[in-house]
Amino acid sequence: MTEAAKATEAETGGVRDDEPMSPLLRQINGGRWFPEEEAEALRAELYYQRAVHAYTTMLPALNVIGMRDGSEATFGRGYHVLPIWKDRMDSRTWVPTPNADVIYAMSYLDLGKTGPLVVNAPANVIGMFTDFFQRTLTDVGAVGPDRGRGGLFLLLPPNYDGHVPAGYYTFESSTYNVFLFFRTIMGQGDGEPDPSAGVAVAERTRVYPLWETEKDVPAMEFPNASGVRVNMMYPTDFTFWTKLNEFVDYEPVAAITPELRGVLASIGIVKGRPFEPTDWQRAQLERAVVDAPKMILASAQLGRPDERNLYYDDRQWEAAWAGGTAEWMQRSYLDIDARARFFQYAYSSAPAMNIHTTGAGAKYPYAIRDRDGEFLDGSHTYRLHLPPNPPAGLFWAATAYNVTDGTMPETDELLPSTNGYYDIPKNEDGSIDLWFGPDKPDGVADAAFVKVIPGRHFVGVFRLYGTGAEFYDQSWKPDDFVKTT
């Protein structure tokens, strides 16, 4: 054998080009085990990749766990505690894409501790109940079974085998934990919205255990969550994994598919077992909790090759669900990338937000780029032109959010939003011009301006509640953001 041949053989692990060998045997080290150091590096990389996959698929749960933990630490816990943002939700509430233009009421129910719970939902609520993977149990309101009239909703824990009485809208959750999310509509004040009407509706909510005697049911508490600094975001450090382990340990096996449980088991998260990562495993978990959200954000930034996320052929507006369903199902697959991005910057997906319901439900087109395809940047000023008569039977609103996590940009104006309740000056044809930027342009009304942060990108969202047919047939559509300075 020549010296050159010997060198080649050494480089390929002793495999000669002319040696008969199956393809995989040839590809992997010529049928020999790896050097210890190489094997450990490969194992660590696989562990890291599994952790990234676990982060991506479990983000819906961690999203709402963060909301629950932040809310309960600040406002108290219990099925009878329903925080209400009575003066609207502003940028001091750290939560993904909050809506400053409705009244929020949100609480977190634990059917594992209480058993079946009854929720007496008021009329005229726009809401939902979801499990803790944020899979909708039912809409509440015009698109729900109550058709906006309100009523008694009975929430059953997983695998409930007790008596189910008549007279309720009854739904069984796949998780013991259930998210209650109600929105109520503000009234029209003197040239601006009046939150009191929406608060009055939300405060008619009642929650109580099915089998509890009336005298033993505590009175409802409705703490005012407005004006309070509260962090309701999902963890961004190793706590992500400890919270996930606690969730897996508490919830029933059937709540998570066997395949996904296998992914979780491969990183040491198994129901009923201690979560005790070694030093090298912890290093990969800490790496994944930093890298995974970057990967999700990068995927959103670069866009979809099929462009099905675009609302229009000639505009930059996008759809959070990219078509399909509120569960991110496309024709033949679950769109895990779209779902992961949604729960990075938003929460609570329900059919009412996705189906084409005329005069009910809501639509949320959003934009990350201006008319020229450049990212919306808080250092510049933009005009958003709305043609006359936005097709929103209840109201419309325009809001700015941070691109990374959907929180509101916090400036000296704590509400980075405006809506149709305000007396916004109209053009001669009835159209409206809204302005987004670091400083209000001269001659622009306060109600027509949304303040953003210089040097930081932002997302612009246009909401239509009670969406009209003109939105669906695209005979009405908002213009793109146009950079003016």
Taking 70 as the threshold, does the pLDDT of residue 10 lie above it?
no
| Alpha-carbon span 190 to 216, nearest angstrom | 43
Taking 60 as the threshold, does the pLDDT of residue 136 lie above it?
yes
Q: How far is CA 463 from the centre of its chain?
A: 16
**Mean of the per-residue pLDDT values for the chain?**
95
> What is the mean predicted confidence (pLDDT) over 301-322?
93
Match 């939105």 to its residue by tokens: 471
- 70: how many CB neighbours lie within 10 A of its CB? 18
- 159: how many CB neighbours lie within 10 A of its CB? 9
- Return the H-helix or E-strand segment holding 103: strand 103-110
> What is the mean predicted confidence (pLDDT) over 241-261?
97
pLDDT given for residue 41 in this prediction: 98
pLDDT given for residue 361 in this prediction: 82
- At CA 150, angle to CA 144 and CA 154, rounded to 5? 75
| Alpha-carbon span 84 to 52, nearest angstrom | 35
Taking 90 as the threshold, does the pLDDT of residue 119 lie above it?
yes
| Max intra-chain CA distance, the chain | 95
428-445 burial code (b ≥16 CB/10 A, e <16): eeeebbbbbbbebeeebe
| Alpha-carbon span 432 to 448, nearest angstrom | 8
pLDDT given for residue 17 in this prediction: 75
- Whether 227 and 75 have beta carbons less than 8 Å apart is answered as no
| Alpha-carbon span 381 to 138, nearest angstrom | 41
Predicted TM-score (pTM) above 0.85? yes
| Alpha-carbon span 104 to 127, nearest angstrom | 10
Residue 47, CA atoms < 13 Å, CB-side half-sphere: 20
Q: Which residues pair with 462 in a beta bridge?
A: 398
pLDDT given for residue 3 in this prediction: 56
Classify residue 455 by burial, with Cβ atoms within 10 Å: 0-12, 13-18, 19+: exposed
Per-residue pLDDT reduced to its tens digit, 278-298 = 999 999 999 999 999 999 999
Tokens representing 403 are 């691109």
Taking 70 as the threshold, does the pLDDT of residue 6 lie above it?
no
> What is the mean predicted confidence (pLDDT) over 115-124?
98
pLDDT band of 9, cuts 50, 70, 90:
low
pLDDT band of 270, cuts 50, 70, 90:
very high
Per-residue pLDDT reduced to its tens digit, 161-202 = 999 999 999 999 999 999 999 999 999 999 999 999 999 999
Per-residue pLDDT reduced to its tens digit, 393-426 = 999 999 999 999 999 999 999 999 999 999 999 9
| Alpha-carbon span 151 to 371, nearest angstrom | 45
pLDDT given for residue 415 in this prediction: 96
Per-residue pLDDT reduced to its tens digit, 25-56 = 999 989 999 999 999 999 999 999 999 999 99
pLDDT given for residue 2 in this prediction: 55
Tokens representing 445 are 């009304």
Q: Which residues pair with 224 in a beta bridge?
A: 84
Domains of the chain, CATH where assigned: 1-32 (no CATH), 76-231 (2.60.40.1610), 336-483 (2.60.120.600)
Per-residue pLDDT reduced to its tens digit, 436-468 = 999 999 999 999 999 999 999 999 999 999 999
User: For the chain, what percent of residues have pLDDT higher than 90?
Assistant: 91
| Alpha-carbon span 129 to 215, nearest angstrom | 26
pLDDT band of 324, cuts 50, 70, 90:
confident
